[in-house]
Structure 1
Amino acid sequence: MNRFKIFWSIFVLGICLSPNISYAQKRSEYWHQRVSHFEKLGVKSSDIVFIGNSITDGCELSELFDNPNIKNRGINSDDICGITERIGSVLEGRPSKIFLLIGINDISHDLSLSEMTEMYESLVAKIKDRSPETQLYILSVMPVNNDFNRYKRLIGKEKVISQLNNNLKQISERYKIDYIDLWDALIIPGTNKLNSKYTNDGLHLIGEGYEIWRDCIKPFI
């Protein structure tokens, strides 16, 4: 391992184990089950990998995109540190593309904007260092609709989501990777709310929502 890799490993580990982000050490049984499963399945260089939280986990990706090369590596309730911890098994396979959608759970955990941005950039740097031939795509954190009053820890966080997305755009520009903005296609026009046509809980997508989501991403597949 060269000095650059050692630096990033220590840097990411230091962030994820900081006192303010101690939740990262409390992974669920489901998280460990899925990680173990993904490690055994592996990834090939011809694969297109979607990695993220419940939005990804809940989608039948290969059917939605009609593409058997698409692999789902989403885990319900995952966060930036969780993906940083487990992405090694993906990068070992040197996939052709990675689509990254993560951040909403970090917002619900009340992390600061700077903490989330630093962790996200560290994750991007790790991907680019470990698998430079892989095309990486950053998906914007999706809007929420708190009219459902379902996810209490996201109430009043709409501005934070927008601020994090602005920082993700800047990261994508620095690393010369594509940023896919899902916002305009999913909101109620003239608002910052996830369209109630596309969700039944204010956060997760239903069938029609996933079709809109797919149409935003499809040109990059």
Structure 2
Amino acid sequence: MTNKTTELTNLHPDILKFQNDLRKRYATENKAVKPDQILFVGSSLMEIFPIARFQEEQQLGLDKVIYNRGIRATTTADLLAHMDTLIFDLQPSKIFMNIGTNDIGFNVPKEDYLNNYAEILDEIHARLPKTTVYLMAYYPINVTASFGEDHHEHRALYAHRSNALYAAASADVAQLAREHDAEFINVNAGLTDADGDLRTDLTFDGAHMLPQGFQIVLENMMPYLK
């Protein structure tokens, strides 16, 4: 059963407005996209991936354009509710999906977000049967280093986020890929320090990466993008 009534509505009004405004912008931009290209979709970890800049400044050697439809604070339920704007209007040939960290961070029951994720995949395969779907392992984070946030902010952000939780969730996503004709990929090589935490030189808050972190991810993704 579609769980389209469980979008988070208790987010700060500024975040909700940002999400709505960005979806409207994407809907307008979708009218000019070329079909059969590559799509990045997910939460803030996709939204801030500077792929447009990378494509403009670097010779990536791709014969397709990469479109980014990430939106911060997005959950699996949010994506289910907006799949036309974020996926189907673009008619991509490849989809790279990084979704679910907010479900984990917002303490959404595991069964609920995995069911949502499964339904996302089922809808994609029903409407885009020739599209290749790549499910990305969750990026590592760093909950031990200080990035200038106060104690309350730190506890709020990491109350339900850890590398152990993300590793377990990535294993669940890998199982979903096996069950729903998708491909699970781990493109995190080079992101961690000796302790397995996200390198401090690659992040501005321990959970989100700087461009140099995404550059490493992009290099790891290249075999799948070509």
Superposition TM-score tier, normalisation by shorter sequence: 0.7 to 0.9
Superposition map of 1:4-153 within 5 A:
11-12=1-2, 15-17=3-5, 21=6, 23=8, 28-42=16-30, 43-65=33-55, 66=60, 69-89=65-85, 90-148=87-145, 150=149, 151-152=154-155, 153=157
Q: Distance in 1 between matches of 2:192 and 2:111?
A: 26
Q: Secondary structure at the match of 1:176?
A: coil
Q: Secondary structure at the match of 2:8?
A: helix
Q: Distance in 2 between matches of 1:72 and 1:31?
A: 14
Deviation at residue 156 of structure 1 after TM alignment = 5.7
Unpaired runs of 5+ residues, structure 1, are 1-10
For the aligned residues, what is the CA RMSD? 2.2
The answer to whether the Cα contact below 8 Å between 2:50 and 2:214 also exists between their aligned partners in 1 is no
Deviation at residue 34 of structure 1 after TM alignment = 1.1
Q: Aligned letter for 1:47?
A: Q
Q: Distance in 2 between matches of 1:80 and 1:210?
A: 22
4+ long deviations beyond 6 Å: none
Q: Aligned letter for 1:79?
A: T
Deviation at residue 22 of structure 1 after TM alignment = 5.6
Unpaired runs of 5+ residues, structure 2, are none
Deviations 1:24-73 (A, max 9, x none): 58670111111111112214323211011112211221332445711110
TM-score in terms of structure 1 length: 0.83
Deviation at residue 184 of structure 1 after TM alignment = 4.2
Deviation at residue 203 of structure 1 after TM alignment = 0.7
The answer to whether the Cα contact below 8 Å between 1:45 and 1:93 also exists between their aligned partners in 2 is yes
The answer to whether the Cα contact below 8 Å between 2:107 and 2:160 also exists between their aligned partners in 1 is no
Between the two proteins, the alignment pairs up a number of residues equal to 205
Identify which range, 42-51 or 70-79, moves more after superposition: 42-51
Q: Percent identity?
A: 20
